[in-house]
Amino acid sequence: MSSEEDIGSFLEQRVWPELDAVASGLLEELKPQRNGNSYKLACPSCGKRRAYYYPTKAIKCNRIDSCGYASSIWSYLLEHQNLSRKEVVQTVCRAVGIDPPDSTSPKPSKSTSTDYQVIRILQENFGRCSKALHEKWSYTDDQISLLSKFCGYYPTVEEVRSKLPASLHAEAERLGWFKPSLENRLFGWWKQPSGSAGYWARSLGDAEPKYLFRSGMKKTIPYLASEASPSSRLMAVEGARDVFALKMMGFKNVIGVGGAMFNLAQCRYIADTHHHVIHVVDGDLAGLKGIVQTLENALEFGLKFEFVIIPSESGDDPDDYRRNGNHDDFHRLYANRLSAGSALGLAYAKLSSEAKFPDMAGKILSVRASLPPGERQNFDVVLRQFGIALQVEKEAIDDLSKLLCYFSLEEANSLIAKRYGISIEIIKAQDDG
């Protein structure tokens, strides 16, 4: 048997039966959303949101006008993420937590080596942006010193090229390191599942967009997650500068998730080493929606979440508290953080009547049903504070009786489960006579 046949057999027996490509972050660019036992996503071929991924199986486009796309995860990674066969094996093995076969393991690829050589050059140039950091964002010398441990500075393409070995120029060009749009930017980076470096780059001048992110980067590993102490409580915020703001205000083990919510892959990643997360979110509608989506994803992995909610009327983010010297105000928000149930109750009170979120009430009640009893009580307490009397079972039964005029029991119960997070069982009475 050839080594390729050995690897194929290895994948069939140990990887494909265990792989959830969405939870592992391999399909992040397709914007997956849970849909029962599958995930709905954008079709890699036609781009319409009518494709589905079935964990351990395949991606299929079910469009009515017959796009017909179908692909295994193996083929998708080869064709759409430009990975080599060796890199696909390494990636899917890491996703299920096992070591790849020896024949695929080894040294870092040339692209990974090139990434980190460029990053070393950016680190060496960090001192050149100190004045801009002080003038633009009011960082003190001590705060700039902290930034220097995690960041670098991209001066000009010519300077970076001149300091990189000539043998790596072609690879650096292919990887996009010689773009003028990267000039005069503060850089941060972290390791991606493939081993390469993801990065964010913030303009220090007037260049737009303000932030650049590496093309193809995945939100699988939260920013600075590798710096957090295992088994300790995590603090989470949206952006990189907010991560540093919390560190500068005395908080430890701070990570960035790159958005208002934790996705499935991020929950899976941190659940290996942590169980308790305090998530800082805005109190606007987007932030409240993020609470719901985070809890929906986190409950699957047994993660405990609490939420620090920044008042939406303030318009501030954590870095504003740092910059304006309002550290005590932020620490008060932290002290008054909400439990998962209380935060979810607040989201229900604010989102359930919003026309732009027609399915949100049902989703929130479904998440509530999965919370521990104490957190469900916290949810109900918050609703009472808003004058909302929630009678889930009664409302569900009333709705079921109406739906049965138009749908079968199975179809009606499916709609009730989606809206209320419960299933109603009807049992035929036995005739004792």
Q: pLDDT band at 64, cuts 50/70/90?
A: very low
Answering whether pTM is above 0.85, one says no
Residue 78 CB-half CA count within 13 A: 8
Mean pLDDT of the residues in the chain: 86
- Is the Cβ–Cβ distance between 318 and 334 less than 8 Å? no
Pairwise pLDDT comparison (343 vs 88), residue with the higher score: 343
Question: What span, in angstroms and rounded, lies between the C-alpha atoms of 166 and 385?
Answer: 67
253: left (phi > 0), else alpha (psi -120 to 50), else beta? left
pLDDT at 432: 61
In sign, the C-alpha dihedral spanning 328, 329, 330, 333 is positive
pLDDT at 105: 46
Residue the block writes with tokens 């048997």: 1
What backbone torsions phi and psi does residue 41 show, to the nearest 5 degrees?
Answer: -155, 175
CA distances from 428 to 11, 380, 401, 423, 432 (A): 47, 33, 16, 16, 12
Which residues are paired to 13 by β-bridges? Answer: none
What angle do helix axes 340-351 and 360-370 make, rounded to 10 degrees? 160
pLDDT digits (tens, 9 = 90+) for 348-380: 999 987 777 777 888 898 899 889 989 999 999
pLDDT digits (tens, 9 = 90+) for 193-252: 777 889 999 999 999 999 999 987 778 899 999 888 887 899 999 999 999 999 999 999
Average pLDDT over residues 64-92: 76
pLDDT at 280: 98
Pairwise pLDDT comparison (355 vs 43), residue with the higher score: 43
pLDDT digits (tens, 9 = 90+) for 16-31: 888 888 888 888 888 8
- Is the Cβ–Cβ distance between 258 and 211 less than 8 Å? no
Q: pLDDT band at 69, cuts 50/70/90?
A: confident
pLDDT at 191: 83
- Is the Cβ–Cβ distance between 95 and 17 less than 8 Å? no
